[in-house]
Amino acid sequence: METSAKPNSESTPENRDSMFTVTGEATALLPARESHLTPITVIGTEAIRRTFDALCIKQALNSRAAPGVTQLVLNPDAHCGYGAPIGCVMVSPTHVYPGPVGVDIKCSMSLLQTDVPEDAIRDAPTRRAIIQAITRRVPTGAGRGQRSAPKSRYVGPSLGRQAVLEGASPRVLEALGIPTHWASRCEDFHHAGHDGSTAALDQRFDYLTTTHGSRLADKFSQLGSYGGGNHFGECEIVQVCEGREEIANSFGLRHGYAAFLSHCGSRGFGFQLAHHQFRNLQAQFEKWGTPFPAGDKELVYAPLGTPQADAYLDDMALGANFATINHLLINALVLEAFQEVLPGTAGSLVYFISHNIARLEPTDVRCINGKLIQCGSDSAWVHRKGATRALPAGHPSLAGTPFEHVGHPILLPGDPQSGSSVMVAAPGAEKSCYSVNHGAGRMKGRKAAIREFDQAAINRSFDEADILTNCRNYPKDEAPGAYKNFSEVINSVQLAGLASEVARLRARFVIKDSDKADD
């Protein structure tokens, strides 16, 4: 999908930065176009703010002015997306927006901690053997499914349907050979329908597959697989930050041991649902004669309580449940691959957290005298598009979870050579709607990266860093240089008081799109 917004060719980083009202070392406000609207909250140092191109700013302003939107946050990884920028948080108590969720519903991160010490995978042949064991189990690439990986775990129509209706229920996990206690390490292990029931999802799935003729069930073969683009699996060595040992232990992190970080979402299943929703809502706008916000078709919406909103929320929940099982199955298969090469390996899920989802959340949680207090019963739909939830210790939404007294792990991918980060939220995250960025964020578009980067230099940089990959040529559009400076991004989050770093993850090998694979 192409956005209808166009960048201003005369805009420069310097005059764009003058649009902001600076409020702190890494915080600023961007005034909305209409004076009666509250300004956009911006998280990022001056250096980061200069990475926001003209189209990103235009999309942020368009989104803030859209019907029903009460708050908008621009995170340090922000860059242009479909309708709304990737790396933004959009809050509405009255409307639901597909654009600020995106076409990869519940694109997410997960982290598996193993008991494998760094020395055990120091030599390249062992790492290469693990790569091969993983790729025999976990397909990668846009069109790949279970048949392309001989040791994948087959998911048929009946179990697939159960998975998208129930999410990580005990019987789904048991049927797939996934530890049932991993569900407690999921941000959301189950998404219900628009009315809070699984029955609504059952009816919606029947409508889509029987009445509407959708072939969603064909996509069940992609459960337990990575997609293309920026999706990846990455073996890491955990480096716990000094003084953060207690929090790291509560997360289940082990300093100096191998962990496995995954980035993927709802694959073709979620894309089909999202694409269908965009198309239908755009047609509905034409039928109603309703103008698109700022003339941008990607900012279509549905007022809550309408049949259109109910249908979207049901489809989003189906896609989200698919993404949950996809991640958990990948982690189970990755652990199995480690055990094939290094018998006796044990592993546990640290956390599974999404960054393309909308949730109904309390909007009146305030930090008062150092404690988080829910001051009322107000709630709204918080859309996180390329943004990650960041709930600190004591947040009411963490009650009853393993993280209520410490805050949940935040998994932020950087790039293989700069590393990735595990963070924990601080009470200051209130200013960003309890959200942070979802990673480093793109600095250079895919076409520009392919055109400008030198393939030999990219490959050589991985060799020099002793980071193995399954790629004959590491994708140019995914090269580290295509992304923002990760240290500056993390610095922005910490200076803004949103979260602090618990551990840095250093890559030892990377698995990317198998269409470019060497195996």
pLDDT for residue 214: 80
Query: Tens digits of per-residue pLDDT, 211-235?
Result: 877 889 999 999 999 988 899 999 9
pLDDT at 79 over 50: yes
Hey, is 268 helix, strand or coil?
Answer: helix
- The separation between CA 466 and the C-alpha centre of its own chain, rounded to angstroms, equals 27
Pairing type for strands 302-303 and 95-96 reads antiparallel
pLDDT at 4 over 60: no
Q: What value does the mean pLDDT of the chain take? A: 93
Structural domains present in the chain: 13-516 (3.90.1860.10)
Which residue is associated with the tokens 């250093």? 506
pLDDT for residue 378: 86
Which residue is associated with the tokens 């990575």? 226
DSSP code per residue over 56-95: HHHHHHHHHTSTT--EEEEEEEEE--SSSPEEEEEEESSE
pLDDT for residue 10: 44
End-to-end CA distance of the chain: 32
Contacts of 336-343 spanning 24+ positions with Cβ under 8 A: 336/137, 336/151, 337/130, 337/133, 337/134, 337/136, 337/137, 337/138, 338/114, 338/116, 338/130, 338/133, 338/258, 338/260, 340/133, 341/126, 341/129, 341/130, 341/133, 342/116, 342/120, 342/121, 342/126, 342/130
pLDDT at 5 over 50: no
Residue 16's pLDDT band, with cuts at 50, 70 and 90, is low
Query: Tens digits of per-residue pLDDT, 282-299?
Result: 999 999 999 999 999 999
DSSP code per residue over 432-458: GTSEEESSS-BSS-HHHHHHHS-HHHH
pLDDT at 485 over 80: yes
pLDDT for residue 208: 95
Pairwise CA distance, residues 286 & 352, whole Å: 39
Q: Residue 466 — left, alpha, or beta (φ > 0 → left; ψ -120 to 50 → alpha)?
A: left
pLDDT at 304 over 60: yes
pLDDT for residue 515: 61
Residue 369's pLDDT band, with cuts at 50, 70 and 90, is confident
pLDDT at 6 over 80: no
Pairing type for strands 108-117 and 257-264 reads antiparallel
CA dist 74 → 356, 408, 519 (Å) = 15, 22, 40
Q: What is the pLDDT averaged over residues 122-142?
A: 95
Q: What is the pLDDT averaged over residues 294-314?
A: 97
Query: Tens digits of per-residue pLDDT, 239-296?
Result: 999 999 999 999 999 999 999 999 999 999 999 999 999 999 999 999 999 999 999 9
> For residue 319, how many other CB atoms are within 10 A of its CB?
31
Whether the CA torsion 373, 378, 381, 382 is positive or negative: it is negative
Backbone phi and psi for residue 231, each to the nearest 5 degrees, phi listed first: -75, 145
Query: Tens digits of per-residue pLDDT, 29-39?
Result: 999 999 999 99
Residue 148's pLDDT band, with cuts at 50, 70 and 90, is confident
Query: Tens digits of per-residue pLDDT, 429-464?
Result: 999 999 999 999 999 888 999 999 999 999 999 999
pLDDT at 496 over 60: yes
Query: Tens digits of per-residue pLDDT, 392-429?
Result: 999 999 999 999 999 999 999 999 999 999 999 999 99
DSSP code per residue over 407-421: B-EEEEEEETTTEEE
Contacts of 169-173 spanning 24+ positions with Cβ under 8 A: 172/325, 173/328
Residue 3's pLDDT band, with cuts at 50, 70 and 90, is very low
Pairwise CA distance, residues 455 & 475, whole Å: 8
Residue 519's pLDDT band, with cuts at 50, 70 and 90, is very low
pLDDT at 190 over 70: yes
Q: Are 30 and 61 in contact (CB under 8 A)?
A: yes
What percent of the chain is modeled with pLDDT above 70?
Answer: 95
Residue type, 465: A
pLDDT for residue 177: 97
Query: Tens digits of per-residue pLDDT, 464-477?
Result: 999 999 998 999 99
What percent of the chain is modeled with pLDDT above 90?
Answer: 87
